[in-house]
Structure 1
Amino acid sequence: MQGKHGHLSREQKQLALRLHAKGWRLVDIAKEIGCSGPMVGIMARTGRHVDAKPFGWQPRLGQLTIDEREQILLGINRGDTFTTIAEQLGRAVSTISREVKRGGGRAGYSAWHAHERAREQARRPKPFKLASGRLLDEVARRLEQLWSPQEIAARLRLDHADDTEMRVSHETIYQSLFVQGRGELRRELARCLRSGRAARKPRGTTDGRGRIPGMVMLSERPAEADDRAVPGHWEGDLILGEGSRSAV
């Protein structure tokens, strides 16, 4: 797919030139970056129109880059196994296999189209991670065993080191318990927490427990009490009254 208004991005054109240098056919390069064969020919043979605006998006740390996706594409075309490609990139084999599967398999994988798809997915609002699926089942099972959210998050990282889809932070678990307050996790709320609380108290809030009903704080007393002009507003009234009754 071409960039906005049909213009190729700088990264697309650079990818096209690199593939041409590796001996790729113009028609295959055009299919890869989403343009016409003649356009690729003009850039490759004459050096014209090789500059353009950048794509304007970089993956977050840990996500596949366009350079890595290009290496995956080249590895597939060489007939390399996923294990070989993963070793070359220093990635988990499962990362490579999922990437290729999402991109249409070995026969249909496109590095640039996969990169564009990753950008679109990054821009969309993310569904709640514990909405359903294997991860929800695993978290709910450990909650039933009275594991804390911190323990669950740490254990998932150990048990599923190569599967990012099976990882979740303890704060996400808390969010499901306290913010969402519904779904499969709600029934485990009171039991799974170390404190035994059924609701999470935000930091900085005051606790109203232990106050006398109708109690008026000194800061809320009327202005005339400050100059002691009215009997009964004196702080010593009650004490003197109590002492007078005792003396009788």
Structure 2
Amino acid sequence: MAQGMSNSAACREVGINRRTGTRWRYGRKVVDRAGRERVYSPIAEQRDIVEVSPRYLSEDERIVIADLLRAKKSLRAIARELGRDPATISREIRRNRDPRTGKYHPFQAQRRAAVRRARSKEGKIRRDPELKEFIQQHLDRRWSPEQISQVLRAAFPDEPDRHLAHETIYQAIYLPHRGGLERKPGLLRSGRRARRRRRRVDERATRFIAPGTLINQRPAEATDRQIAGHWEGDLIVGQGNRSAIGTLVDRATRYVKLLHLPDGRGAEHVRDALLHAFAELPAEVARSLTWDQGSEMSRHDEFTRATDIPIYFCEPASPWQRGSNENTNAPAPPTSPGP
């Protein structure tokens, strides 16, 4: 296994049962009929456990999982308690429980996870020159990793070790020291040479220097459309980007206000137009504003400090999160000519 083999592959190589190999790796405790306890230590001393990322389950979380399982809690209830996805909890229990008894022991589970992470990071593609050449040829022909993943099953039907998920191919491209594939311009259809980081929901932020608040933190009363005063806004840009106006739509009443922008649509112009528009409104109908992450809102913090009105921002490329404003700005359908 130090050479990168999985537990099952190493057991086949040695000629032993997979469960026997698991006992050799982790050790076991046996009590004979006389009540005497005998401990078989693992074949290799375990490494110090290092938490590499908060997205991995920690030892404390595994202790909570074990406690809640003993309390007969469901997997979904455990996931809610830890703020994790139910699939994460299900996979953790399935992979790291005791293979002999089926029970989940947190410290043993932590050791199993640490040993699994400590395996050789050299991937399947780098270890298999024929497989690597096959994938590289199809990438050069502009095949996507998803297409290559599917064709591998037809090309190597009797070799399941060569059946790869498309994510494995992506990792081999973005991490050439592991996968061995050439990372050159135009290799992928997206044109990316580096992977775009996908942040967790609680780690996401806006693109502005002064961090903005995302729409998932908007109060429930704004989402329910029950109370007036929660507005959505956007710009309508004229032909050739030579002119622009702003639109504000109240989510509850659908009342529309226009922002006059005669001098331009820069951040300072939009800020001043918003200050003027909301100055005319009573406080009862000026509760919040939702906008997209356009550069015209880069001075949103100055508007909020002056008015105490919070601004919430949509996720990138998600105009549907401002549905009222998008529908208001949409051009009217052409009317059919009369008879």
Q: TM-score, length-normalised on structure 2? A: 0.28
Please identify which structure carries the higher strand content.
Answer: 2
Say which one has the larger Rg. 1
Q: TM-score, length-normalised on structure 1? A: 0.36
> More relative contact order in 1 or in 2 (CA 8 Å, sep 6+)?
1
Please identify which structure carries the higher helix content.
Answer: 1
